[in-house]
Amino acid sequence: MTRNGSTTAPGVANRTTGDLARAAVSGWLGTAMEFMDFQLYSLAAAIVFNEIFFPNVSPAIGLIAAMGTYGVGYVARLVGAIYFGRMGDRVGRKKVLFLTIALMGGSTTLIGVLPTYQQIGILAPVLLVALRLVQGFGAGAELAGATTMLAEYAPVRRRGLIASLVSLGTNSGTLAASALWAVLLAVLSEEQLLSWGWRLPFLLSFALMVFAVWLRRNLKESPVFEQRADVAGGVALSREELRAKADAGEGLEAALHQRKGRAFLVALGLRFGQAGNSGLVQTFLLGYIATFLLMDRAVGTNAIMYGSLLGFATVPLVGMLGDRFGRRPIYLALTAATAVLAFPMMALIASGSVVALTLAMVVGLNIGVLALFSLESVTMAELFGARTRFTQLGLAKELGGILATATGPVLAATFTELTGHWWPIAAMLVVYSLITLVSAVVSPEVRGRDLVRLEDAA
């Protein structure tokens, strides 16, 4: 931080503290909206969509079908990550972030006005899936874009802390959605909830979208994008143009000839544990508690709400620890702890005690999901070079989402139905965490890396 209030980093154009604050609020709000939208959907899928859109099947099969509609959005997220990621790397981060938030908010609002299965039959779940696809297409680049923007704005020594605001945004969105559903479950009868109450959270998201769109219109472009050696006139050079500059001796050979793939695979593995754990803890367990344990639906949503509140301390703390000790040591500690605690956590959840269940879910959410997300926000940005950071980061996040978050709840629902036991859920938590543990072992330490560099760190 300089005397005139500007933030600096190696090779990065200055931005004032006001610019940094606007970028931070924009990134936080966008990810809050994304995760509120998706948590609203995942909670609805776990709690009521099996009865509203899939009423003519058994409760267990209905839950599997509802989890399936939850999962299809992740396919659209991958397409969105590719399309908008390439756009963000070529013409800038700001323009993409404006488009993605409008797509997300519009589709979420429309879910709130959908007719039900009883009103229009099979067309109801078809429309639900269609809106889920549009929502996912916009969201596919939102998280990657916000992560990229904040990391590229942040001063080097506080990059982990500032980038963790993206994770705080996800936590804020999760908390808001969980709180809305907790209120609905507390004040509405079953009949009211199924007839009209489930629509309210989706309709209320419209106001948040309007504010977020307005905020992003006034956001400056990423300083790293403006300082990239391969950007001219606000547009990235093509590979042919890049090769011509390299041949002219302008120092771009490293980015042009670097072998791709290793950094992406490391990032994908780092994403896997957090994404898989999130799908199980924040989505599947809510349906499991109500459908298999036959406990009140509010028990699970309250546990997620309490865990999200604690996350406001966990997320920035992990960001600061990553700035102090490096990304790898914290990754190793968190993933090992999650694997060790998986079976005791599930035993407590299945014990039938509300207190034990709540404690287990709060601990699991903070260690295995929120803390890892805090590290993920900055580590992935530092792994990739500036020329393809947005695209690769988005692909790693969304492909990891498809492989873990989207398929995890469906697999968990199927395995639980087949075995009649909770142990497959714990086993899945262990596997997800070990994948990230191995990835952290082989990852280079990237704390403090110059983000203007065009080549990947590995």
Please indicate, yes or no, whether the overall pTM of this predicted structure exceeds 0.85.
no
Task: Tell me the residue ranges of DSSP E strands in 177-278.
Answer: 231-232, 235-236
DSSP H or E segment with residue 339: helix 327-349
Please tell me the predicted confidence (pLDDT) of residue 371. Answer: 95
The reply to whether 449 falls in a domain is no
pLDDT at 4: 38
Q: What is the pLDDT of residue 248?
A: 59
In-domain check, residue 397: yes
* % helix, strand, coil for the chain, step of 5: 80, 5, 20
Axis-axis angle for helices 17-47, 59-91 (nearest 10): 160
Percentage above 70 pLDDT, the chain: 88
Q: What is the pLDDT of residue 343?
A: 96
Is the pLDDT assigned to residue 383 strictly greater than 90?
yes
Place of tokens 């908010």: 105
Q: Count CB neighbours of 239 within 10 A.
A: 11
Return d(Cα 61, Cα 112) in angstroms, integer: 24
Report the number of distinct structural domains present in the chain: 1
Does residue 436 sit within a domain?
yes
Residue 9 predicted with pLDDT over 80: no
Q: Which of 85-89, 167-171, 252-256 has the lowest mean pLDDT?
A: 252-256
Band the pLDDT of 352: cuts 50, 70, 90.
confident
Checking if the pLDDT of 257 tops 80, the result is no
Q: What is the mean pLDDT of residues 284-297?
A: 83
The answer to whether residue 277 scores a pLDDT higher than 90 is yes
Q: Looking at the predicted structure, is the pLDDT value of residue 408 above 90?
A: no
Range of the domain at 376: 15-223+238-442
Residue 47 belongs to a domain with what CATH number? 1.20.1250.20
Q: Is residue 191 part of a domain?
A: yes
What pLDDT does 12 receive? 47
Per-residue pLDDT band for 7 (boundaries 50, 70, 90) equals very low
In a domain, 8, yes or no: no
**Residues 156-183, mean pLDDT to the nearest whole number:** 85
- Does the pLDDT of residue 13 top 60, yes or no? no
450 occurs within a structural domain: no
- Confidence category of residue 106, pLDDT binned at 50, 70, 90: confident
CA angle 214, 34, 50 (to 5 degrees): 135
* Averaged pLDDT, 268-287: 89
Asked if residue 67 has pLDDT above 70, the reply is no
In the chain, pLDDT over 90 holds for what percent of residues?
Answer: 30
Q: Would 88 be classed as within a structural domain?
A: yes
Residue 86 has pLDDT above 50, yes or no: yes
Q: Which of 24-38, 235-249, 349-363: highest mean pLDDT?
A: 349-363
| Gyration radius from the chain CA atoms | 22
**Segment 50-61, tens digit of pLDDT:** 677 766 655 665
Report yes or no on 228 lying in a domain.
no
